């Protein structure tokens, strides 16, 4: 059976599954329809706020979570590009953001001037917000297809975990004494009764990666496999680790080489797969530790 490294550079593109996307400018009509209420709400809050900090505090009080997140994204574009996106999403972080980043907020009168200089709805901003809409969807599609393939290929096994934007499985949910309380997993392959855990793993769609992103991903995978297999070995288990990755990002930079090294660190215990490799490289005997 071929290892991940054994796929020659000139054939690797044949093992990548591409996810389709929407065309520009076709998306503009739908984008403007979806985000016009967001821009109108932002406009109303902007006119009622005496300062940029007050504007953000008003946004933080928006009762609808989806609307609050979109308003925060508009705020970041107009008022505070340096504020971390993840902080903007957390309602409880509002005062801390104003305290730590408030000095860099653009003055409210300039924000008002810039906002008024754009049409409503602003097609450019709606297009930017649209890019956030399906962020993560390709990864969800990848997991969904993987679940279907595993269930079809191994009907006597069970695969479980979030197919979409659900909560990750924590390793402590399958092993009560697992030492890390925050080790998320995207899927678990087990016996039907879930008593025998054959494999656990992560699934990611790499649309376009490079530089530090490569290092973060592969470094995280290395730590994950080290930690899980250390527990598996110390408890005499046969559980394997699968990293399901797909997308054109695999062909960029050193990604293929880095993933090959991760697989080679634990021969026969770690596999890096794309969807198109499953039939060739993922076997019942490997999953059950019978090789």
Same domain for 203 and 129, yes or no, is: no
Helices 65-78 and 108-116 cross at an angle (nearest 10°) of 100
pLDDT number for residue 173: 95
- Would 248 be classed as within a structural domain? yes
217 lies in some domain = yes
Which of these, 206, 248, 208, lies nearest to 13 by C-alpha position? 248
| Residue 105 CB neighbour total at 10 angstroms | 21
The span from the CA of 172 to the CA of 177, in Å, is 7
Of 107, 133, 159, the position where a domain reaches its end is 133
Q: pLDDT band for position 169 (50/70/90)? A: very high
Q: What pLDDT shows up at residue 286? A: 96
Give pLDDT, residue 212: 44
Say what percent of the chain tops pLDDT 70: 91
Residues 62 and 160 in one domain: no
pLDDT tens digit sequence for 39-54: 999 999 999 999 999 9
Q: Is the separation of the CB atoms in 272 and 225 below 8 Å?
A: no
Beta-strand relationship, 187-191 and 270-273? unpaired
Phi, then psi, of 186 in degrees rounded to 5: -90, -25
Judge whether 186 and 203 are in contact, CB under 8 Å: yes
Domain boundary at 111, 133, 155, which? 133
Domain total of the chain = 2
Cβ burial, residue 261 (10 Å; 0-12/13-18/19+): middle
Residue 196 pLDDT exceeds 70: yes
For residue 92, name the pLDDT band (cuts at 50, 70, 90): confident
Mean pLDDT of 74-89: 84
Mean pLDDT of 249-275: 92
What is the reported pLDDT for 252?
85
pLDDT of residue 20: 66
- Of residues 72 and 133, more confidently modeled: 72
Structure tokens at 90: 């957390």
Name the band, by pLDDT with cuts 50, 70 and 90, for residue 181. Answer: very high
Q: Please report which confidence band the pLDDT of residue 140 belongs to, taking 50, 70 and 90 as the band edges.
A: confident
Residue 263 pLDDT exceeds 70: yes
Q: 74 pLDDT exceeds 70? A: yes
Q: Are residues 193 and 226 in the same domain?
A: yes
Query: Based on the domain organization, do 121 and 141 belong to the same domain?
Result: no
Kindly tell me if the per-residue pLDDT of 243 is higher than 80. yes
Distance CA 104, CA 118 (A): 23
pLDDT band at 283 (very low <50, low <70, confident <90, very high): very high
Containing domain of residue 248, as a range? Answer: 4-17+135-287
> What is the chain's mean pLDDT, rounded?
90
- Are 123 and 229 contained in the same domain? no
Last residue of a domain, one of 86, 109, 133: 133
pLDDT at 131 over 80: yes
User: What is the maximum alpha-carbon separation in the chain?
Assistant: 70
Q: Which of the two residues, 68 and 213, has the higher pLDDT score?
A: 68
pLDDT of residue 87: 72
Residue 38 clears pLDDT 90, i.e. is over it: yes
Residue at 22 is within a domain: no
Q: Check whether 161 has a pLDDT greater than 70.
A: yes
**What pTM was estimated for this model as a whole?**
0.73
pLDDT exceeds cutoff 70 at 27: yes
Same domain, 151 and 278: yes
Taking the C-alpha atoms of residue 156 and residue 154, their distance in angstroms, rounded to an integer, is 5
């Amino acid at each position: 059976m071929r290892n991940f490294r054994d796929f020659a550079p000139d054939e690797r593109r044949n093992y990548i599954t591409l996810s389709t996307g929407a065309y520009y400018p076709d998306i503009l009509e739908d984008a403007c329809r979806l985000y016009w209420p967001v821009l109108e709400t932002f406009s109303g809050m902007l006119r009622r706020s005496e300062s940029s900090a007050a504007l953000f505090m008003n946004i933080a009080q928006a009762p609808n979570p989806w609307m609050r997140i979109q308003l925060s994204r508009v705020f970041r574009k107009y008022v505070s590009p340096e504020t971390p996106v993840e902080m903007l999403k957390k309602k409880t972080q509002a005062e801390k953001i104003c305290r730590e980043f408030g000095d860099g907020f653009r003055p409210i009168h300039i924000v008002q001037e810039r906002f008024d200089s754009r049409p409503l709805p602003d097609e450019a901003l709606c297009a930017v917000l649209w890019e956030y809409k399906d962020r993560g969807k390709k990864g969800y599609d990848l997991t969904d297809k993987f679940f279907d393939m595993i269930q079809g290929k191994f009907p006597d096994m069970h695969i479980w975990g979030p197919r979409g934007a659900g909560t990750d499985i924590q390793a402590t949910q399958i092993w009560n004494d697992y030492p890390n309380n925050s080790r998320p997993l995207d899927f678990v392959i087990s016996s039907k009764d879930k008593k025998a855990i054959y494999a656990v793993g992560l699934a990611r769609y790499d649309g376009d990666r490079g530089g530090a992103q490569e290092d973060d991903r592969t470094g995280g995978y290395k730590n994950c496999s080290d930690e899980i297999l250390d527990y598996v070995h110390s408890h005499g288990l046969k559980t394997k680790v699968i990293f399901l990755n797909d997308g054109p990002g695999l062909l960029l930079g050193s990604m293929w080489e880095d993933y090959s090294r991760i697989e080679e660190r634990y021969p026969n215990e770690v596999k890096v797969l794309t969807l198109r490799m499953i039939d060739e490289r993922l076997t019942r005997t490997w999953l059950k530790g019978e090789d």
